[in-house]
Amino acid sequence: MLLPFLFFSCSSTKQTATIVPAFAKGADVGWLPQMEATGYKFYDTDGKPKDALQLLKDRGMNSVRLRVWVNPNDDKASGHCSPAETVAMAVRAQKMGMRIMINFHYSDSWADPAKQFKPKAWENHSFKQLLADVYSHTFEVLRLLKAANVTPEWVQVGNEIPGGMLWPEGKTSNFEQLAKLLNEGYEATKAIDPKIKVIVHLDEGNNNEKFRWFFDQATLFKVKYDVIGFSYYPFWIKKDYSETISDLAFNLNDMVSRYGKEVMVVEVGGEDERPQNTFELLTETIKAVKAVPNQKGLGVMYWEPQGAKSWSGYSLSAWQSDGKPSMALDAFKEQ
């Protein structure tokens, strides 16, 4: 559901309105169905049980990001997120008024800069077959969503792909082939609905050199996309956000001016044991994206804020050991 702001221009003869979608504030919540299935309980600050999505919405979030894997296993923390499970979660989130992003990993489990393993069912396929695989998988998941009356606002083609995806065929060392794979995802998405915005996503959002190299290549090989997606985790590069936030801001603006695309922080997170620091990280990240000229900064998504360490082992959630949300998430409702 879009929450529009209307800007009017008037003349003596007519009045026109430009609809600008609200700034996206949200969360990747791929773990949520598994957490609930294993009995994890979520509580509000008053100690009363409450739906996790409602807790996020109460803190100003209006969007969710959902990963989808091809043929995942049933592992608690590294499985699930099948097409059917993703559709069910998207329907649930949309009913609560949330906007939807679908994140295609093109793998059976985690894809990130260190690993981009092909789905087992695609392992022996030729490059030509891989192109067809990307198109058909993307199209089919989005078709299932559409059949459930969900049309995502954004689709991410690949997850953190500075080294490419579907290795080895789609490595950046063969960018021409990577471009063709990415374009199959783009074309499949637009065949479902041309209004869906397609995102290409890299890690280390503060690293302008990495982004320039990748998107210069993407331009050279004519990759089709609408939005540049950023991950921003000061923790993983062992620096405080205060040391890197200006680099993120510079990179956001540089990507817009250099490539003419919109930008979005699709993953961010801070240490759960440092809620005040994470609050400040989120506050400054949201400010940086909002400050991008001409509403080209679309939004900020926290990665698994509800994914409490006691359940996931992940220390960059924004959830406390008592099942309650951390004060860090108040950054979303205060801006």
Say how many residues make up the chain.
335
CA separation for the pair 104, 70 (Å, rounded): 9
Burial track 323-334 (b if 16+ CB lie within 10 A, e otherwise): bbbbebbbbbee
CA atoms within a 13 Å half-sphere pointing along the CA-CB vector of 40: 25
CA separation for the pair 268, 308 (Å, rounded): 15
Identity of residue 182: L
264, 295 Cβ separation under 8 angstroms: no
The catalytic site residues sit at 160, 267
Which H or E element spans position 15? strand 15-21
What lies within 8 Å, CB to CB, of 14 at 6+ separation is none
304, 315 Cβ separation under 8 angstroms: no
Q: How far apart are the first and last CA of the chain?
A: 19
Give the number of other Cβ atoms within 10 Å of residue 229's Cβ. Answer: 30
Structure-block tokens of residue 226: 């609408």
Burial zone of 290 (CB within 10 Å; 0-12 exposed, 13-18 middle, 19+ buried): middle
Give the number of other Cβ atoms within 10 Å of residue 71's Cβ. Answer: 13
